[in-house]
Amino acid sequence: MAAAAPTLTACTTPSPPEYASLQGKGLGTSWTVRWSAAGNVEAPAVEDAVLAALRDVDEGMSTWRDDSDLAAVRRGPGAVAVRADTAFVVRQALALAEETGGAFDPTVQPLVELWGLHGAPRTTWPSDEELGAARAQLGWARVAVTDGPDGAAVDAGGTALDLSAIAKGHAVDRVVGALGALGVTDLMVEVGGEVRAHGRSPRGGAWVLGVDRPVVGSQPGEGLVATVRLANAAMATSGNYRTAYEVEGRTVHHTLDPRTGLPASARVLSATVVAPDCRTADGWATALMVLGPEEGLPLLSRHPDLEAWVVVADGDGWRTASTPGMDALLASTSLEGGPARD
């Protein structure tokens, strides 16, 4: 998740007179908040609420901090007391792991470490023995969350938890909740690219947010492959095109398939999910990167409140696959060299 004990800061940025904006750093990434100033909610109060929410998530779910809930769970042994917020997210992660058959797995950290995604990149391809040893440490079904008179506890069952694929989305939800408690109803919250928007945008109507073009070496916002209308909803996009590196002629990227121990298929370039909350969107976007549209979209069909748009490599171009309701949310698309749609 975040770099060790990240500094949380904020600064004001110009915005239309009727809306205010704050940006800052937290959870090892950047965040942005825009909200209607009509309710007379001042920037200092918003800043305090944002930083408090992000700090709480970091203290509970960071895989970098030695004093986080997850660090204590990893040290174990047995059931370890955690804050209710951490227990809630672990439960949600386990439910998604069960539904996806382990394509999403919150015990993936041994693989993350094996592939050098929490440190220096590997210079050699892991041996079968190394892969086997790492996979033996995985197992979402071994994790138990319990409630007792003294609060919630998590027993990792000898595994190590990594909630990075869902915690940023949860942080967005926490910030939205904190600002709602202040009386803010028209707002957009973004943390590390995961977004949730409510009420009216500065232009009136739904908020329109971009999906980055999946080009290796591109920077966030440099080019868009689509724009999406968000009305009281959240959106998360996962992609493999910014963090890839080569090992012995093979590509390693940050999305790993817990079922095989190997990097997920490089043909799935990005996956965007729209959901009522950002935690759900974040987790499913990661799962779709592993499952691909053929396996993943049928699973999403069980959830009428979820929509998805997946960009897949197709020869020298791209093609997309989506859920039936996604077209109504797309404000624009631009697929250079790969205009085919499923």
CB 204 within 8 A of CB 103: no
What's the pLDDT at 9? 46
| CB-based contacts of 240, cutoff 8 Å, min separation 6 | 214, 253, 254, 255, 264, 266, 268, 269, 270, 289
Q: Quick one: 147 exposed, middle or buried, by C-beta within 10 A (0-12, 13-18, 19+)?
A: exposed
Looking at residue 56, its pLDDT comes to 96
Contacts of 296 (CB under 8 A, 6+ apart): 100, 103, 271, 287, 288, 290, 308, 310
Domain boundaries, the chain: 1-63+163-194, 70-162, 206-342
pTM (2 d.p.): 0.90
What is d(CA 105, CA 18) in angstroms, rounded to the nearest whole number? Answer: 43
- Give the CATH superfamily of 70-162: ApbE-like superfamily (1.10.3980.10)
Pairing of strands 317-322, 340-341: parallel
For residue 209, the tally of other CB atoms under 10 A from its CB is 23
pLDDT at 340: 31
The whole-number pLDDT of residue 242 equals 66
Examine residue 258 and say whether the peptide bond preceding it is cis (omega within 30 degrees of 0): no
Q: How many CA atoms does the CB half-sphere of 315 hold within 13 Å?
A: 7
User: pLDDT means per 10 residues in the chain (342 residues)?
Assistant: 41 61 92 88 94 96 93 92 97 98 95 86 92 95 92 93 95 97 95 94 91 70 82 92 78 88 89 97 97 95 95 85 93 56 30
Residue 240 pLDDT: 79
What superfamily in CATH does domain 206-342 come from?
A: ApbE-like domains (3.10.520.10)
Sign of the four-CA dihedral 48, 50, 56, 59: negative
Q: Give the torsion through C-alpha atoms of 281, 282, 287, 288, to 10 deg.
A: 60
Hey, CA dihedral for 311, 313, 317, 323, is it positive or negative?
negative
